[in-house]
Amino acid sequence: MALSNLKSNRTLSSSLITIFIISLFLQYHNIKSQSSWQSRQVPRSETVAFSITEFEKENPDIFLRGDTSISDGILRLTKTDQSGKPLPNTVGRATYLTPIHIWDKTSGELADFSTSFSFIVNTNDSDLHGDGFAFYLGPLHFDVPKNSSGGYLGLFDPENAFPPSKTPILAIEFDGFTNEWDPPSSFQSPHIGIDVGSIVSLEYAQWPINFVPRNALGEANINYNSESKRLSVFVAYPGTQWNSTRVSVVVDLRSVLPEWVRIGFSATTGELVETHDIINWSFESAL
């Protein structure tokens, strides 16, 4: 009888230990899953860094809107037909969902950030093409405005696109068509511009898209230095005869953007067309 009770006690103890271990495992797994879910729902951090060498259709970090699509690892911002020919009057946007802490209200500190991406804009060998694409920083809940196709690049509508209106947006535009608000007539050509709160570029430089070979790969590097408050843009077409394009501006992001922003790309066509393809993309910020 004693031996039987001893065996029963050992069996019971072993079962309790097993249950305890399983319970701890499940609790740990639940906490880990809950933490992962919470961080995914509200992924707030002082630093953000990522590198996308190839875009995936099911990437949970990239939210597509409008006519944007992903095919063969490429982010195509505006719509094309089955043969790849660009279509008129399209609007597309791709947003990285993790919020970026661009400045801190309590301390007043600004973040440094840098981003780089490779892109192809195919004009079909036409000098008349449009409209363009932009890398942007904007509010967390920033929808595509109505009537924002064509020269508004999917970022502005006619009512809030111009000074003195100040939309909380910072954008670096690659503008293929000269609208009436674009650089003056002596500069009538595609341009790269820095837009601060409106579609009218504060600073701009020539974009040699009409002179590079068809399907030439462009490389863009954008940096913001929190000490100097200087935003610098560097664009090159490696392997071509064209020199790099540089443009910069001093801007205090605290006067333009909310504390938390989202980043992404936006692009449009109008009556004139071109493709807007992002091949890869990396980003890093630290507050």
Which residue matches tokens 């190839």?
54
Domain ranges of the chain: 1-41, 45-286
E strand spans, the chain = 47-52, 62-66, 69-71, 74-76, 91-101, 112-120, 132-138, 170-175, 191-196, 201-206, 218-225, 230-236, 245-250, 260-268, 277-286
* Residue burial 90-125, b: 16+ Cβ < 10 Å; e: rest: bbbbbbbebbbbbbeeeeeebbebbbbbbbbbbbee
Q: pLDDT digits over 52-96, tens only?
A: 999 999 899 999 999 999 999 999 999 999 888 999 999 999 999
Q: pLDDT digits over 197-227, tens only?
A: 999 999 999 999 988 998 999 999 999 999 9
Full-model pTM: 0.82
For domain 45-286, which architecture applies? Sandwich (2.60)
Q: Hey, how many other C-beta atoms are within 10 angstroms of the C-beta on 266?
A: 32
Residue 35: which H helix or E strand, with range? helix 2-41
